[in-house]
Amino acid sequence: MLDGNTDIHPLFRNAPKTTAFKKLRKRIVRQAREALEAYGMVQRGAKWLVCMSGGKDSYTLLAVLYELQWRGMLPVELIACNLDQGQPNFPATVLPDFLKTMQVPHRIEYQDTYSIVKSKVPEGRTYCAMCSRLRRGNLYRIAREEGCSAIVLGHHRDDILETFMMNLFHGGRLATMPPKLLNEAGDLFVYRPLAFVAEADCEKFARDMDYPIIPCDLCGSQDGLQRQQVKAMLDGWEANSPGRRQVMFRALMNARPSHLLDPKLFDFAGLARKDG
């Protein structure tokens, strides 16, 4: 992607020089740029809070945003943020050390939401829903304090598909994570620039870059979570019919209200035959 041996940012200091990695990097950057453009995310001079969990997706997100910024395709200010929620055994120094070394402006916030979730969620129930709500509320607060207009999340194509399937099977609605969302208060956007990027590409990118991955199971997530079940089902479909995930994802971008059943989206009662 780049001429010569000079990388654009410390985040790419150890980028492999192989053709395979260069193609992977180019594909991810292109797909992120397409999502930014398709959903009108970029406003020149804005400030974005880039949410860092320490997982493969957030590392990939941060690197891609810095590459797009360097190329003049993302004229916004970036500040990385990690919310330490007090999970047991969370390696609290990993992200601060990484972001400092990589010369990334950042904010580290400690809020023990884990204890709140443990005390409120009944035995045997999953923590994810309440944990997510508490995390999002804190991120909104931090974004306002930092003067940001948006929080930016590392959800990828597979996250979006899995959420759609979970809503379909368990929520009784056709809905998923949108690439661009306005919060209920109307003062902050939520962006997902990796919406077109496959999870496997995020995993390979972060692994090839040797980023210090923090495990995603620190909260003791149960093996039988609905999302894990849906992921296994999609994996099976993909194995039997390669490309199935991408076909399903394209379907989410090609909705036809007249061929669904929601009378709030299409005026079925108003349909009339042409006379003669």
Q: What is the pLDDT of residues 219-275, one digit of tens each?
A: 555 444 788 889 999 999 999 999 999 999 999 999 999 999 999 999 999 999 988
Average pLDDT over residues 153-172: 95
Confidence of residue 33 (pLDDT cuts 50, 70, 90): very high
For the packed helices 226-240 and 244-252, what is the interaxial angle rounded to 10 degrees?
120
Sheet arrangement for strand 150-152: 106-110, 77-84, 47-51, 150-152, 189-191, 180-182
* Higher-pLDDT residue of 169, 85: 169
In a domain, 275, yes or no: no
* Higher-pLDDT residue of 208, 220: 208
Write down the pLDDT at residue 89.
Answer: 82
Write down the pLDDT at residue 70.
Answer: 92
* Higher-pLDDT residue of 91, 194: 194
Give Cα separations from 273 to 34, 98, 176, 259, 268 (angstroms).
41, 65, 35, 17, 12
* pLDDT value at 30 more than 90: yes
Confidence of residue 52 (pLDDT cuts 50, 70, 90): very high
Helix H or strand E encompassing 75: none
In a domain, 134, yes or no: yes
Whole-model pTM: value is 0.91
* pLDDT value at 64 more than 80: yes
Write down the pLDDT at residue 44.
Answer: 96
Write down the pLDDT at residue 269.
Answer: 96
* pLDDT value at 110 more than 60: yes
Confidence of residue 154 (pLDDT cuts 50, 70, 90): very high
Name the token pair of 38.
Answer: 């398709």
In a domain, 7, yes or no: no
Write down the pLDDT at residue 217.
Answer: 61
What CA–CA distance (Å, rounded) separates 78 from 19?
A: 29
In a domain, 4, yes or no: no
What CA–CA distance (Å, rounded) separates 120 from 117?
A: 5
Number of domains in the chain: 1
Write down the pLDDT at residue 121.
Answer: 74
Residue 95's nearest CA partner among 215, 214, 218 is: 214
Which of 47-56, 137-146, 212-221 has the lowest average pLDDT?
212-221
Report the chain's mean pLDDT, rounded to a whole number. 90
Average pLDDT over residues 164-191: 95
| 50 strand-pairing partners | 80, 152
Write down the pLDDT at residue 176.
Answer: 96
In a domain, 276, yes or no: no
* pLDDT value at 34 more than 90: yes
In a domain, 80, yes or no: yes
User: CATH code at 20?
Assistant: 3.40.50.620
∠ CA 223-225-226, nearest 5°, is: 145
Write down the pLDDT at residue 169.
Answer: 92
For residues 49 and 139, is the Cβ–Cβ distance under 8 A?
yes
How many other CB atoms are found less than 10 A from the CB of residue 217? Answer: 9
* pLDDT value at 11 more than 50: yes
Share of the chain above pLDDT 90, in %: 75
In a domain, 269, yes or no: no
Q: Which residue has the tokens 């923090």?
A: 214
- DSSP strand pairing (106-110 vs 77-84): parallel
Residue type, 153: L
Structural domain span for residue 34: 16-259
Residue type, 181: L
* pLDDT value at 212 more than 50: yes
In a domain, 271, yes or no: no
What CA–CA distance (Å, rounded) separates 249 from 232?
A: 17
* pLDDT value at 3 more than 50: no
* pLDDT value at 1 more than 70: no
